[in-house]
Amino acid sequence: MFSTLANHPSTRPAVRRWAVIAVSALFVGLGLFGLTGPAGSVTAQAETVFNVRVEKTISPVKVRVIRRAVTRANENAAQLLIIGLDTPGGLYGSTREIVEILLASPVPVAVFVSPRGAQAGSAGTFITAAGHVAAMTPGSNIGAATPVSGTGEEISETLADKATNDAAALIRAIAEERGRNPDALEETVRSAASYSASEALDANIIDLIVDDIPDLLAALDGRTVTTVAGDQTLQLAGAEVRELKMQWRERFVDFISNPNIAFLLLSLGSIGLIIEMLTPGAIGPGVAGIICLGLGFLALGNLPFNWAGVAFILLAIVLAALEIFVSGFGALGIGAAVSLVVGGLLLFGDFGGGRITPPSFPSVSVNRWVLVGVGGVLLSVAGYLAYEVIMSRTGRRRGAGRSGGGGDGRSSPGSLVGQTGVVTSALQPRGVVALADETWTGVSNDGLNIPAGRRVRVTAVNGLVLTVEVDAGPAAVEGQE
């Protein structure tokens, strides 16, 4: 009996709704369990050393990783926290947050630029200098570059001086707090100075050159380090080293927190919603679009984005929707494509001069080839729609005047009225209708829902939109009697 009800057309939507509710409730329950369940903890002895790797771009995700590592080390009374560093740089705001965390850490922190060939560029210079202990492997380097704007372009002398002075003041303050050479570190900001490991040691920028973590522990054994909690003498002989890895969600957010990926997610999300509007009831494109938009905004939360860019991307969705519903001869579709590209250009830019990236911090922007690719696809689609609408409205297809269709195998507008087709995607009241070998957007003439599989008759043609009625009359629609 249940299977009979489940297969009945009028009960299918209800079954689907309850299935969605049940699955959603399951995942909500799992989420609540994760929030209220026992948190994993590490029971450490006093001789325990924690080690965490920080690689690639410094971002808000890396801030959370380092904050979690410092908190875990402090909660377990660890002797030392080692931050293995290899980065070309990152976001200036994230760098300042990490510096604050390290300067306020009650647990001694050793920043170790490793392995051989690693670098502590721009942001890495500040982080290395902020550690209680700064160490490098042979063959590694530390240093900075020149000021750039948030879009990677040249900036005025006044703004460059402002950015440089701010960064220089920060790194001098770090050097004075940690007893390092403030002049040498300031040169990494003002003149883009870079140092090899041996040069950095000679200039009192770092404390040690060691090959690996065992050598680092041996060199620091018995050393007294001053923290905000007071002087601490490190007892590292035979210490156990425990790895703190990035959590899977941190790795995922770090992966999508890339300007190109964020823009692609927003673009794909917009396209998914547009496809859903074109084919109502398909569900899949709409759900995928919402998920992509959600992930895109999650990525934006970890990047210095511009709301003007987001506004243009949302405008592109609105223009595309208007193109579909009012048939603007493709003009609105072209406007949507242009708006999306402009949104990508503005998404990570700061054209008011308010946000300036200090020396050597990489610019954040969408790759121009990504913009060209996305814009080209949308313009092609918009151009095709414009062609279809114009040909449909003017009747200039080959053989447009012939009864039953054109010489190119396409139906002319005048020949469609009175023909019958099949609903392939439910009209609610808009959906998709298959007419001969063609697929059209259809809308019911009286606003009633017409389920998939029902035969319909064309009563009017407006551009690429067919107005239809149920072949047997509205009273024959299931559930609408």
Whether the pLDDT of residue 396 is over 50: the answer is no
Q: For 359-386, what is the mean pLDDT?
A: 63
* Minimum mean pLDDT range among 162-166, 218-222, 287-291, 390-394: 390-394
Whether the pLDDT of residue 85 is over 90: the answer is yes
Residue with tokens 């920043």: 111
Element (H, E) at 294: helix 284-300
* Minimum mean pLDDT range among 46-50, 288-292, 328-332, 448-452: 328-332
pLDDT in tens, 407-458: 444 455 556 788 888 888 778 777 778 876 666 778 888 877 888 888 898 8
Whether the pLDDT of residue 383 is over 80: the answer is no
Going through 30-132 in order, the beta strands assigned E by DSSP cover 49-55, 80-86, 109-113, 119-121
How many secondary structure helices (H) and strands (E) does the chain include? 16, 18
Share of the chain above pLDDT 90, in %: 23
* Minimum mean pLDDT range among 232-241, 320-329, 351-360, 466-475: 351-360
Bigger pLDDT: 323 or 408? 323
| Residue 69: count of CB within 10 angstroms of its CB | 24
User: Residue 322 corresponds to which tokens in the numbers above?
Assistant: 């208007």
* Minimum mean pLDDT range among 113-127, 242-256, 301-315, 442-456: 301-315
Bigger pLDDT: 130 or 10? 130
Strands 430-435 and 241-244: unpaired
User: Residue 70 corresponds to which tokens in the numbers above?
Assistant: 């410092």
pLDDT winner (highest mean) among 101-115, 364-378, 433-447: 101-115
Residue 264: its pLDDT value, please? 81
Summarize the chain as % helix, strand, coil (round to 5).
45, 20, 35
Whether the pLDDT of residue 254 is over 50: the answer is yes
What burial letters (b/e) apply to 254-270, b meaning 16+ CB within 10 Å? bebbbbebbbbbbbbbb
Whether the pLDDT of residue 368 is over 50: the answer is yes
Q: How far is CA 204 from the centre of its chain?
A: 40
- Which amino acid makes up residue 378? L
| Residue 447: count of CB within 10 angstroms of its CB | 10
Q: Which residues contact 18 (CB under 8 A, 6 or more apart)?
A: none
State how far the Cα of 95 lies from the Cα of 122, in Å rounded to an integer. 9
Residue 477: its pLDDT value, please? 47
pLDDT winner (highest mean) among 40-49, 254-263, 352-361: 254-263
User: Is residue 401 very low, low, confident or very high in pLDDT (cuts 50, 70, 90)?
Assistant: very low
Share of the chain above pLDDT 70, in %: 65
Q: Is the dihedral of CA 201, 207, 210, 213 positive or negative?
A: negative
User: Is residue 460 very low, low, confident or very high in pLDDT (cuts 50, 70, 90)?
Assistant: confident
Residue with tokens 């009028």: 10
- Which amino acid makes up residue 200? A
* Minimum mean pLDDT range among 129-133, 137-141, 159-163, 223-227: 159-163
Residue 413: its pLDDT value, please? 54
Bigger pLDDT: 86 or 348? 86
Residue 446: its pLDDT value, please? 80
Whether the pLDDT of residue 47 is over 80: the answer is no
Quickly list H helices, 76-221.
92-103, 123-130, 157-178, 182-190, 197-202, 213-220
Residue with tokens 């006044």: 158
Q: For 162-170, what is the mean pLDDT?
A: 82
pLDDT in tens, 198-214: 999 999 999 999 999 99
* Domains located in the chain, CATH noted: 49-249 (3.90.226.10), 257-392 (no CATH), 413-476 (2.40.50.140)
The C-alpha angle 232, 238, 243, rounded to 5 degrees, equals 85
Q: What is the DSSP string of 239-276?
A: PPEEEEPPPHHHHHHHHH-SHHHHHHHHHHHHHHHHHH
